[in-house]
């Protein structure tokens, strides 16, 4: 049997200096979920909605929402005569879902309360309009629940309020 000399063996191994060092996993923090905000409104939150001066157009509010997480959908509800929840008085307009955009501020969202479309309660003329927006679905899919503005625990929502006068038959 042939044997290799130790110096020859070392010179062969020295020419192939391959050292394998395992690479550990790269740890990254999950992205922070920032709650949405109201960038601006017209008229300002807290205002009395009035009819347009030039011919008594509809009462309306326009809202620009923002979310630093540009990949989030925004879930929006306009709720009339709430809080508190009063059966046969509180009304929730159809929910709007704003798609993700590649910018923090989203496209404007307009809402005009309407006696027929929103089934606004009759018998009084002073009403409250609430905007509730979240980047997570509302806790209740059925908006006729006693807390139509609630989101699941641990999630955030933003709110805006206006007053308006409307006498619905």
92-139, pLDDT tens digit by residue? Answer: 999 999 999 999 999 999 999 999 999 999 998 999 999 999 999 998
> The domain at 33-143+154-165 falls in which architecture?
Sandwich (2.60)
Question: Which has more pLDDT, 10 or 149?
Answer: 149
Reported confidence tier of residue 26, pLDDT bands at 50, 70, 90: confident
Sorted by where each begins, the domain ranges of the chain are 33-143+154-165
Return the structure tokens found at 111: 């809402």
pLDDT value at residue 112: 95
Taking the C-alpha atoms of residue 160 and residue 63, their distance in angstroms, rounded to an integer, is 9
């Amino acid at each position: 049997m042939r044997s290799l000399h130790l110096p020859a063996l070392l010179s062969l191994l020295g020419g192939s200096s391959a050292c394998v060092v395992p690479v550990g996993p790269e740890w990254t923090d999950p992205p922070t979920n920032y709650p949405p905000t109201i960038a601006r409104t017209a008229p300002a939150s807290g205002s009395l909605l009035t009819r347009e001066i030039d011919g008594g157009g509809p009462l309306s509010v326009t809202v620009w929402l923002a979310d630093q997480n540009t990949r989030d959908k925004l879930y929006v509800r306009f709720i009339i005569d709430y809080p508190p929840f009063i059966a046969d008085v509180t009304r929730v307009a159809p929910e709007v879902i704003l798609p993700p955009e590649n910018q923090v501020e989203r496209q404007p969202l307009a809402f005009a309360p309407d006696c027929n479309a929103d089934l606004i309660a009759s018998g009084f003329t002073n009403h409250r309009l609430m905007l509730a927006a979240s980047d997570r679905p509302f806790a209740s899919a059925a908006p006729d629940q006693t807390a139509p503005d609630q989101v699941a625990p641990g999630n955030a929502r933003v709110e805006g309020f206006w007053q308006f006068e409307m006498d619905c038959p």
